[in-house]
Chain A
Amino acid sequence: MRNLTAPLAALLTGWSLTACSGTAARTGPASGPGRAPEAPDQEVPSIPHERYELDNGLEVILHEDHRLPLVAVSVWYHVGALHEPPGRSGFAHLFEHMMFQGSPHVGADQHFRILQEVGATQINGTTSFDRTNYFETVPAAALETALWLESDRMGFLLASLTRESLENQIDVVQNERRQSVENRPYGLMDELMTQTLFPPPHPYAGNIIGSLEDIGAATLDDVKSFFRTYYTPANATLALAGDFDPAEARALIEKYFGPLGGEPEPSTGVPAVPTLDEPLEITFQEPIGRLPKLSMAWLAPPAFSEDSAALDMLAHVISGTRSARLDRKVSHEDLIAQSVTAYFREMQAGSVFQIDLVVRPGRTLEEAETAIDEVLADLRDHPPTEEELARALNTWETDTFRQLELLGGFGGRAEQLQTYNHYLGEPGRLAWDVERHRAVTVDDLAAVLAEHLTENRVVIMASPLGAPGEEKEAAR
């Protein structure tokens, strides 16, 4: 039985400790208030791995870590909302649900049951704008079971699909939409923002979940053609992270995935990033939320392009800690906001820089907009300082490294490798990503602020329709 308290050096197979001492050196006490941060250390984190390809085009990424007898299994299909045909918004996600309905050798409703029986954790599938992923973390002894499950649905799903299970999952996904959009505060407003930034026919306009109507219109033929085109081994990447013997893992992967046939990798194009030629200000009647909310967003170049690290750091300077520029003004001094966030979301066909502010009772959307504009103007006049940038980077690094504790599941190491592989064609780009964040200067922040956060932006002002329950109760 392995013990978690074994000597440190013996346990670093899967993670380089030097990685983090680099951070430590830079964020030491010398970077405290009033002192310039130290020069970045050259040491950076890495996730050791190997990558190879099967004859059928399936990419495989292996990352060994023997600290716990667990293996994270992650399969990415390089298809997302981005590839949905017109009239089929939400289809990539609906399809993801069908992948859990049971493939021919596994059986209906068996996927979760079998994973539960072997003691799996972190079992899920997710669909984003750009890709669809499936993952589970299993005890090392059950690796073969996970490969059996994943390969069977990759190879043979269509043979067990039924109209009944499609109709059932249409109901389930429509209810997922009701829960996360129609009946959730600001759900419709958030969807409107995506649709405004990426107007149809841009495939992002469906906001991943799609419309109730489009979800309901999906046919069995849609499911089949989508599977044949996009769920081919040549369009997928399998990653294992954890406690396995690489030679044994390779043999098992060849056994289960090697025989799978399928179409060659689809040659899909990526639509251009839309442009905003003028400022757009939209007022919206919010049916669920009871506090006014303002969202302000700008379009930015695709994921991992040149300015994206600086935009990410800029978001951290604007919001995220009490003394960040915007938080300080709207939450601490002027007391306008119930909550405020700024974030940079990177996507393949266009990234988004967004500020969301929920307004306190008694304050107004106009005050919120004025306050944000004042903070942005002040940032132009008084660019971020070295100290602000250092804090932003510290926070970003701590959050990034914390995610690496997990082998798999949301944000774990298998997903990190997959993310870099998907967007950059190379799994081992974490070190590069850290370096480019460390390399951002205060001048870069000023430059991206001037270039990307222009007057051509979308502002949505959502005013509550009225507290639900009140009017009708009064009328009774």
Chain B
Amino acid sequence: MNAPLLMLALATAPAGADEVPESAAWRANRPPVPEPEPPVLPAFERGQLKNGLEVHVTRVPGLPIVSFELVTLGGAALDPEGQAGLTSMMYALLEEGTESLDALAFSDRVADLGARFAASAQRDHGTLAIGGLSRHAEPLLELLAEVARRPRLAGEDFDRARAETLASLERSLASPQGLAFMVFPGLVYGADHPYGHPPSGTPSSVSQLSVEAVRAQHARVFHPSRSALIATGDIDLAEAMRLAEATLGAWQAGDPAPLEIPPVAPGRREHITLVDRPGAAQTMVLFGRPLFERGEPDELPLTLGNEAWGGSFSGRLNMNLREDKGYTYGARSQAVFRRGVGAFLAYAAVQTEHTGASVAEVFAEFQRLRSDPLSSDEIELARAGIVRSLTGQFQSSGAIASAASSLFVYGLDLDYFQTLGPRYAELEPERVRRITERYLEPERMQVLLVGDLAEIRPQLESRDLGPVEVLSPPR
């Protein structure tokens, strides 16, 4: 119905509109960008209660909103052997109310405060989060403390939560991304490593969990000396300390489970692993390998090198697979650092018929780091992007809370983010090249493909990309 209008407009378009007029020639001069000012970063502050609980506060003025997160070390890495998903399930059950409020009453209490509550387990830690208006700071924190200290952990709630988790796992496994990220940790770390299973668990591991195990896990995990209260928003340190003392000052607990993450020796790849999805229009492609612990000297140079290779839109990986070949909507890589061994990860969803070519191109990009090392321009672009965007990374209280949480989880100094700029500035390009080349080693990359085996196998064989081992999806 818009066609006639469009045609009308076309008829009146001036001839030669595709040409740039002489009068616009000045636009070829890109505006100068003044030397960047030092980043403006939030002021992270810290206190501690007598029971060991750390209190991290970042005041964000402007909106009368506050958020509290109770962050506890441990996370899915503390899942006992054979009970993958136990910590996640324990956190899921913490959304089901407290000794004095059942699940519906708890949910109503949160909604009455105009708040949102969430509980989740990551690999190295778990988080209980509640946020709302700052004039409700006290009742919000009381509710959070009650969840941590006096959770309901009832059998009937457990049955419901487990059924819900099993249904969610079933749903995730239907998605190529969901399936890939469930399988890949085991390939990178080995299935027995604390980081080798998906934090959510698998259908078979979750179906064997019991409410008794959840209660025991609660005792193994929750402890004030292993926790931090992260307060962000319209609140200051003194007020946060007062509220923390009132709600969590009397919190005591038994001995928590030890936190130890063993090292991983990165092995050579023996085959490409494939999960078959007959008829899939795209193949999910993942490359990965274990790295080293957060805080090691190679962390920043590798982060910088990764930014240039695959961490940004303009990195080599995306420019090749997307902007040159058009095989994918986007390709990225990440160097992920944890309390224990971190991981390098590169991924893309690529068109089925170009799967072999895509895998070959990613290998070629790893190789090219040797024949055509990262140029000074590439390194300086990545460096500028990381350092100059620091101010912009801390705009929302959510982003600030997550940064404060990482200070606690990884044991970083309060001025960590302030020191990043100077630390990146002094990295020698040669060192960035050497370290990037060392870790982005094609032979040590595990490769997972989730896609149509019958279509993909001949593509891999014709390019001599090594043997393929077919893996059944997790049950």
With contacts A116-B312, A159-B19 known, is A395 near B111, CB below 8 A?
yes
Stretch at the interface among B101-109, B254-262, B291-299: B101-109
Bound-complex Cα distance A296 to B359 (A): 41
Are the C-beta atoms of A4 and B59 separated by less than 8 Å? yes
Which partner residue on chain B sits nearest A328 by CB separation?
A: B104
Does the CB pair A185–B175 fall under 8 Å? yes
Which residues from chain B contact A224 at a C-beta distance below 8 Å? 17-18
Interface string of B354-376 (1 = CB under 8 A from A): 00000000000000000000000
Contact present for A405 and B63 (CB under 8 Å):
yes
The answer to whether A67 touches B167, judged by C-beta atoms less than 8 angstroms apart, is no
Interface readout for B170-207 with A: 1 if CB under 8 Å, 0 if not?
Answer: 11011110000000000000000000000000000000
Chain A residues lying within 8 Å of B27, measured Cβ to Cβ, are 105, 148, 151-152, 156
Residues from chain B with a CB closer than 8 A to the CB of A175 are 282, 326-329, 349-351
Residue count of chain B within 8 Å CB distance of chain A: 105
Please encode chain A, from 255 to 267, with 1 for each CB lying within 8 Å of some chain B CB and 0 for all others: 0000100010011
Tell me which of A80-88, A364-372, A435-443 binds B.
A80-88
> B62 to A398, Cβ gap below 8 A?
no
44-89 of chain B: CB within 8 A of chain A: 59-65
- Who on chain B is nearest to A172 by CB? B326
A192 within 8 A of B: no
Binary CB contact string for chain A from 396 to 435 against chain B (1 if under 8 A, 0 otherwise): 0110011011110000000000000000000000000000
A-B pair number, CB within 8 angstroms:
325
Please, which residues of chain A bring their CB within 8 A of the CB of B390?
119
B381 and A116: CB pair below 8 A?
yes
Give A12 to B61 CA distance when docked, in angstroms. Answer: 8
- A39: interface (CB < 8 Å): no
Which DSSP category, helix, strand, loop or mixed, fits chain B's interface?
Answer: mixed
Taking CB atoms, residues of chain B closer than 8 Å to A5 are 43, 59, 61
Which of these, B62, B171, B277, B325, contacts A468 with CB under 8 Å? B277
Q: Is A42 interfacial (CB 8 A cutoff)? A: no
Residue of B nearest to A65 (CB): B62
A250 on the interface (CB 8 Å rule)? no
For A185, the chain B residues whose CB sits under 8 A away are 171, 174-175
Query: Interface residue count for A (Cβ, 8 Å)?
Result: 128
Q: When chains A and B are docked, how far (Å) is the Cα of A174 from the Cα of B328?
A: 9
CB distance from A352 to the nearest CB of B (A): 20
A68 near B2: Cβ-Cβ < 8 Å: no
Q: Is the CB of A85 within 8 A of B3?
A: yes
* Best-surrounded residue of A11, A105, A173, A226 (most CB of chain B within 10 A): A105
Known: A11-B62, A68-B391, A394-B111. 11 other contacts (CB 8 A): A24-B133, A85-B2, A109-B314, A158-B17, A171-B325, A172-B322, A178-B351, A361-B170, A391-B108, A391-B111, A468-B280
Binding site for B on A (CB under 8 A): 1-8, 11-12, 14-15, 17, 20-21, 23-24, 27-29, 31-33, 67-70, 83-86, 104-106, 109, 112-114, 116-123, 137-139, 141-142, 144-145, 148, 151-152, 155-156, 158-159, 161, 167-176, 178-180, 182-185, 201, 203, 224-226, 228-229, 259, 263, 266-269, 271, 287-291, 321-323, 328, 331-332, 335, 338-339, 358, 360-361, 390-391, 394-395, 397-398, 401-402, 404-407, 464, 467-469, 471-473
Counting from the closest, the 8 A-B pairs by CB-CB distance are A119-B388, A171-B326, A394-B114, A121-B392, A338-B167, A322-B107, A229-B9, A176-B329
- Show the binding face of B for A, using Cβ within 8 Å: 1-3, 5-6, 9-10, 12-13, 17-20, 23-24, 27-28, 30-31, 33-34, 36-38, 40-43, 59-65, 103-104, 107-116, 131-133, 135-136, 139, 160, 163-164, 166-168, 170-171, 173-176, 275-282, 312-314, 319, 322-329, 349-351, 381, 384-385, 387-393, 395-398, 454, 472-473
